[in-house]
């Protein structure tokens, strides 16, 4: 079955440490997205990519970095510059055409906490 796989499910970060969250999809979708979810704040866009080797910043990109070397993969690195990384991170993808007229399919998320 096609879908989006995020790993790990739970992740702990030490002070000054960079951590990378994995997101893989086998839906053959062109567009991929990373969202951060905090209690009571809905989903906020961190980065998105509509094509391999290209990506754009979302509303809260500071302290995060991404890469899109393969169509199937869109890893997110939470750098030490992100001072408040504790949140639920969701990866999503959508077919060509972007977010406007295509549904987004979400992974099961990674819950990141500070040690």
Q: Is 103 near another protein (CB under 8 A)?
A: yes
Q: Is 22 near another protein (CB under 8 A)?
A: no
Q: Is 41 near another protein (CB under 8 A)?
A: yes
Tell me whether residue 21 is exposed, middle or buried, using C-beta atoms within 10 angstroms of its C-beta: 0 to 12, 13 to 18, 19 or more.
buried
Binder to another protein among 73, 80, 95, 106 (CB under 8 A)?
106
Those residues whose C-beta lies under 8 Å from the C-beta of residue 18, and which sit 6 or more positions away, are 77, 78, 79, 80
Q: Which is nearer to another protein, 16 or 40 (CB)?
A: 40
Contact between 49 and 99 (Cβ < 8 Å): no
Q: What are the helix and strand counts (H, E) for the chain? A: 0, 11
Binder to another protein among 54, 84, 101, 115 (CB under 8 A)?
101
Which one of 10-18, 32-40, 69-77, 79-87 is the stretch in contact with another protein (CB under 8 A)? Answer: 32-40
Contact residues: another protein, CB under 8 A: 33, 35, 40-45, 48, 50, 58, 90, 98-109
């Amino acid at each position: 079955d096609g879908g989006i796989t995020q790993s790990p499910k739970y992740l702990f970060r030490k002070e000054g440490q960079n951590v990378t969250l994995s997101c893989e999809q086998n839906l053959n979708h062109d567009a991929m997205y990373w969202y951060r979810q905090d209690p009571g704040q809905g989903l906020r866009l961190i980065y998105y990519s509509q094509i391999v080797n290209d990506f754009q910043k979302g509303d809260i990109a500071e302290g995060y970095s991404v890469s899109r070397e393969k169509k199937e993969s869109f890893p997110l690195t939470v750098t030490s510059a992100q001072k408040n990384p504790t949140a639920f991170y969701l990866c999503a993808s959508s077919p060509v055409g972007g977010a406007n007229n295509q549904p987004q399919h979400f992974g099961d998320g990674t819950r990141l906490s500070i040690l």
